[in-house]
Chain A
């Protein structure tokens, strides 16, 4: 297997997350192996990878929900327990109780929990910040809606607003569009791009087509992390991550994630790269499985 160290660019931007030689997993099995990643201010990184490749595990480590077995992780130069208050977490919205008695306003206000101790009430300042967060995702007119009465895209906006209400330096998104149709997800990604003007974003996803047009850099995660700090997914990254040749669809998006004239079957033979690009084979929905 090819091992690729993350490229250390000469970068003056502040490092917001640093992961060095991280190993993590459940019971005796390591799911993440020797992960190295440096996230810098205003990065917009998309991590893709197969199911079971460790995307969720990596998020759990960053959120302090899973103790790494080895390695060092710093968030804003601090330990995870201290540093995670700079992280705004946007969960998957798949498992969800439609009947839960809660309104948009109350969900977003949960973002203020970290700033208030037990027995302390929310303040007027909290309400102001919640209001701003709701406004920035354009949901003001639905404040009093029960969360179960929202569409998938609206709900995702609410979760983003909740993350914003924590006043984060970094947004961490887990499969943000897994239950949302493409039209709507483009709107939400556009929102993320705007937010990225002031907030660093790290996102794990299946959805390659969107990754290509909205994120700044891409990595592949399958137990190990293949990240060059570049925008394109190279064939060797993919082969290393998925352990079999995979073609990509780049239907109708402005940027190709896959360099042209380089069918992955010939990845190691650049001489033959003049062949017309072969695309298609991965399912369009972005469900990756062998």
Chain B
């Protein structure tokens, strides 16, 4: 009992710190984007291209350092460019698109590293872009995250029927005169923006985990795209909050702790999944 009380006191203490409050709010804000966009990444099976966009964004970080501007701006530009480039390659060429995307992924990262090499002086915060530092998110970034969330929610709500159709059956959507390429590029750009948001929290290297894991778990339990997005967002909030507190009390890297919490829940849900499947089959048999 006393231990619980001490824990409670320490939580209250932690909440006195602005950085802790910011971190918790950031966790909620990114979880919304993650849940919505991650659902598309998972059901449309574009995990690889999303990983490519995330890693290519490092080129923008390098450029930001080199030009002495905000690296986040560089990351936005680079990830959007990577989204366009990789999307075009995937749609328009008949080459082995996964190879080309892999090459662009590597070039983006290499470019970032070289640009950082060429930059004179002390490179503050460099590691935080790679491995995340949710505890260092400034209040101004929270407003940017909120704005990006609103953009994503507005876009998905506006193009919901097209996004669903393009994800489920692209050929049919095309026959129905849906501008399939445009919708796909919009989706990739939303992924790029989400990547930039996540970069502050878990770092570019682990972005893909937070983008896919909540949606993947959610997909095990619900069979409706809207519900899948909602549940994935809620799971995201749980993972970031739990991971954050664990990292605070155990003095561990926050990004990696969040990913481990999410990852172990995913493995657990894989183990539980066959049980729910079976129940479903029984229901079906009973229904006839």
Q: Does B284 contact A (CB under 8 A)?
A: yes
What CA separation (Å) do A118 and B158 show in the bound complex?
Answer: 8
What CA separation (Å) do A85 and B45 show in the bound complex?
Answer: 29
Question: Which of B172, B223, B227 is within 8 Å of A110, CB to CB?
Answer: B172
Chain B residues in 8 Å Cβ range of A102: 164, 168, 223-225
Chain A residues in 8 Å Cβ range of B227: 101
The dominant DSSP class at the B interface is helix
Residue-by-residue, is B154-182 near A (CB-CB < 8 Å gives 1, otherwise 0)?
Answer: 00001101101101110111111111000
Q: Does B243 contact A (CB under 8 A)?
A: no
What CA separation (Å) do A5 and B177 show in the bound complex?
Answer: 34
Chain B residues in 8 Å Cβ range of A119: 158-159
B255-288 with Cβ < 8 A to chain A: 280, 284
What CA separation (Å) do A240 and B140 show in the bound complex?
Answer: 73
Tell me the count of chain B residues lying within 8 A, CB to CB, of chain A: 30
Q: Are A65 and B171 in contact (CB under 8 A)?
A: yes
Q: Are B164 and A106 in contact (CB under 8 A)?
A: yes
Chain B residues in 8 Å Cβ range of A85: 176-177
Q: Does B219 contact A (CB under 8 A)?
A: yes
Q: A85-B177, A119-B158 are in contact. Are A101 and B172 (CB under 8 A)?
A: no
Chain B residues in 8 Å Cβ range of A97: 43, 45
B131-163 with Cβ < 8 A to chain A: 158-159, 161-162
What CA separation (Å) do A121 and B162 show in the bound complex?
Answer: 11
Q: Are A84 and B175 in contact (CB under 8 A)?
A: yes
Least Cβ distance of A49 to chain B in Å? 21
Question: Which of B164, B175, B222, B280 is within 8 Å of A65, CB to CB?
Answer: B175
Measured CB to CB, the residues of B under 8 A from A are: 39, 43, 45, 158-159, 161-162, 164-165, 167-169, 171-179, 219, 222-225, 227-228, 280, 284
Q: A65-B174, A101-B43, A101-B227 are in contact. Are A110 and B168 (CB under 8 A)?
A: yes
What CA separation (Å) do A182 and B168 show in the bound complex?
Answer: 27
A61-105 with Cβ < 8 A to chain B: 63-65, 81, 84-85, 87, 89, 91, 97, 99-103
What CA separation (Å) do A166 and B178 show in the bound complex?
Answer: 14
Q: Apart from A63-B174, A113-B165, what 19 extra A-B contacts exist at CB < 8 Å?
A: A63-B171, A85-B176, A89-B175, A100-B43, A100-B168, A102-B223, A110-B165, A110-B168, A110-B169, A111-B176, A113-B162, A113-B176, A114-B176, A114-B178, A116-B161, A118-B158, A118-B162, A122-B161, A148-B223
A124-163 with Cβ < 8 A to chain B: 146, 148-149, 162
Tell me the count of chain A residues lying within 8 A, CB to CB, of chain B: 31
Q: Are A63 and B175 in contact (CB under 8 A)?
A: yes
What CA separation (Å) do A89 and B10 show in the bound complex?
Answer: 62
Least Cβ distance of B154 to chain A in Å? 11
What CA separation (Å) do A270 and B57 show in the bound complex?
Answer: 74
What CA separation (Å) do A89 and B175 show in the bound complex?
Answer: 8
Q: Does A246 contact B (CB under 8 A)?
A: no
Chain B residues in 8 Å Cβ range of A89: 171-172, 175
Q: Are A103 and B174 in contact (CB under 8 A)?
A: no
Residue of B nearest to A121 (CB): B161
Chain B residues in 8 Å Cβ range of A146: 223-224
Residue of B nearest to A115 (CB): B176
Q: Are B175 and A110 in contact (CB under 8 A)?
A: no
Q: Are B179 and A118 in contact (CB under 8 A)?
A: yes
Least Cβ distance of A27 to chain B in Å? 8
Q: A110-B172, A110-B176, A149-B284 are in contact. Are A103 and B224 (CB under 8 A)?
A: yes
